[in-house]
Structure 1
């Protein structure tokens, strides 16, 4: 069951006594938990029938006692357990899960992990309630997610703006939502987000970013690469080396994977690159320029310089100097 389905059921007054929200993607867990806290009960009932616990501070017996109370002047009460992964002796809640009170809606958020499906507690919750697992969105799906999210808010967004957000923020969905809202507030009557808007309101330079450095490397454009690195040197927060190197490594890893694919056509490799035909075409051109040995050598260099960036086999070379060394070696050796 999806987060959307759970919330839609609640809007229709369809409730189960137990909801266990787990997984690595906080955004959907927070979305469901927020709705449970602010929307299931009307304000007049919430003061008597809403209990909120936090795992770090909550005692399991207090949670069970709250769940076993009957609602006051209402049909339902809501008990929330936030950050359940931090709760001591959480396994002792299992006795309540076996026989939950029908008039209680118990919702727990268990972030950064999952219950073992083989264990009795998982099967018990599944039998008497609902388990929602919130998975991290895959990189190749992120641009479509950003586009659909922006459209759901009544706006359009250019493909370049989508790529800037995806490359700069990654799959931190909550942060993407916050940045999109920040941009839309500043659009006035306009209904399309452009790359200029991302530059102006998110703080991502459309000319000097990890995506453009990747583009320079893919074309072996040393002049452009050095120009971008010099911008990073003057603006350290624009693209820290610890973000740049993993992004480049991810790109060249995808190029390396293409060599093992049966279908190496533009259509065949497009899923590796956010289903973006331009990115797929560029990847094939990069393969032509580098070849197998060049891609493999680049991956080795990226690994070496990633270690150096965290102080291994390096006496404290500045980040910009490391990047300059790296791109020169990549373009001359690959």
Structure 2
């Protein structure tokens, strides 16, 4: 398994402190991956105060319905018959002049646990420079956590780690299958995994592809992961069979996602050719894949020399344009995919 991302390491550290009842006066949670932000806020909301204390000492507000002055005034209140008051600000990105929170963070109350959930759009943007002072003070006085969106290649390892925390192992193929089906929405993946765990027999210790197929609905035989694997093996019959299934089920298998998966696969094969260090761990890191799959790329590279990979990448670009109507007035996506597979395996 690849090294945990900095986001996961920081998240685990924060959750470890919370479970040990080590509380900070400020948790400024920002970033474009909402899953970790929500999990920290939910834990604080449900576990710091007893049910009897929550009535007087826990407040949840939303950015659209409050101002920064309201937040500051609420944070300055003292708890009633409790060691702490909890103030959770959700959707704080909608608060105007949030940078004014610096006024409070210079001297925060130790009896207030202020949680600010400041979510960013999923376009890689950083928090506004106007918030640099808030973030700096949050680091000094408590916690400033940046929850970064995962790259697609990081998702299978996250799935492995999530199930490991539940006492389960998962076949790397099954992890990739789930990631390919669900995408990189961690909240959705966690929900699917939680549902899967409930359906597994009590004695189950390892999740297999058949479990994913049976309980989540993705086919272990007809998916983009299996298609690229068949292409890597130059197994035309297998690849064509999958393409035919895709052609018959276009809504579940959009051409644009399929051609993107094939493109990414051959880019990785090309990268493999260019790597000076072919050590398994080095290759896995460079390609962004689990070490389990390195041998697959090694074999594919023997079948597809670097020059051939370049030609295929150009071919994919051509068929992407054809799928959008350029130099193509009648061939549907299913037939285009079948043509493409033939040309990849056998050449023009």
Superposed pair shares fold, TM > 0.5:
yes
Displacement of 1:140: 4.7
Cα deviation, 1:135-165, whole Å, max 9, x if unaligned, reads 3345554433322321321223233322211
Candidates 100, 106, 117, aligned match of 1:92: 100
Contact 1:75/1:103 (8 A) holds in 2: yes
- Which residue matches 1:207? 221
- CA change 1:54–1:299 in 2 (3 A) is farther
- Which residue matches 1:53? 61
- CA change 1:155–1:67 in 2 (3 A) is same
Displacement of 1:308: 4.7
- Which residue matches 1:152? 165
- Which residue matches 2:175? 162
Bigger mean CA deviation after superposition, 141-150 or 111-120? 111-120
| Separation of aligned partners in 1, 2:80 and 2:279 | 65
1:42-81 residue pairs with structure 2 within 5 A?
Answer: 42-81=50-89
| Separation of aligned partners in 2, 1:143 and 1:319 | 29
| Separation of aligned partners in 2, 1:312 and 1:64 | 58
- Which residue matches 1:274? 289
Candidates 132, 140, 145, aligned match of 1:127: 140
- Which residue matches 1:175? 188
| Separation of aligned partners in 1, 2:244 and 2:235 | 15
| CA RMSD across the alignment | 2.6
| Separation of aligned partners in 1, 2:118 and 2:45 | 16
Contact 2:85/2:111 (8 A) holds in 1: yes
Matched, 1:285 2:290: no
1:197-236 residue pairs with structure 2 within 5 A?
Answer: 197-236=211-250
Bigger mean CA deviation after superposition, 174-183 or 242-251? 242-251
Displacement of 1:260: 2.6
Candidates 22, 41, 53, aligned match of 1:33: 41
Contact 2:280/2:291 (8 A) holds in 1: no
Contact 2:230/2:239 (8 A) holds in 1: yes
Matched residue SS, 2:115 = strand
Q: What 5-or-longer segments of structure 2 have no aligned partner?
A: 1-8
Bigger mean CA deviation after superposition, 143-152 or 14-23? 143-152
- CA change 1:23–1:102 in 2 (3 A) is same
Contact 1:139/1:274 (8 A) holds in 2: no
Q: What 5-or-longer segments of structure 1 have no aligned partner?
A: none
Matched, 1:319 2:333: yes
- CA change 1:325–1:56 in 2 (3 A) is farther
Displacement of 1:31: 0.9
- Which residue matches 1:106? 114
- Which residue matches 1:22? 30
Contact 2:243/2:338 (8 A) holds in 1: yes
Displacement of 1:214: 0.3
Displacement of 1:273: 5.3
Output the TM-score relative to the length of structure 2: 0.86
Matched residue SS, 2:304 = helix
Cα deviation, 1:106-133, whole Å, max 9, x if unaligned, reads 1111223543499333222222221112
Candidates 189, 198, 201, aligned match of 1:185: 198
Q: What is the aligned residue count?
A: 333
Output the TM-score relative to the length of structure 1: 0.89
Displacement of 1:310: 5.4
| Separation of aligned partners in 1, 2:269 and 2:316 | 14
Contact 1:273/1:280 (8 A) holds in 2: no
Bigger mean CA deviation after superposition, 241-250 or 204-213? 241-250
Displacement of 1:225: 1.9
- CA change 1:166–1:91 in 2 (3 A) is same
| Separation of aligned partners in 1, 2:37 and 2:326 | 38
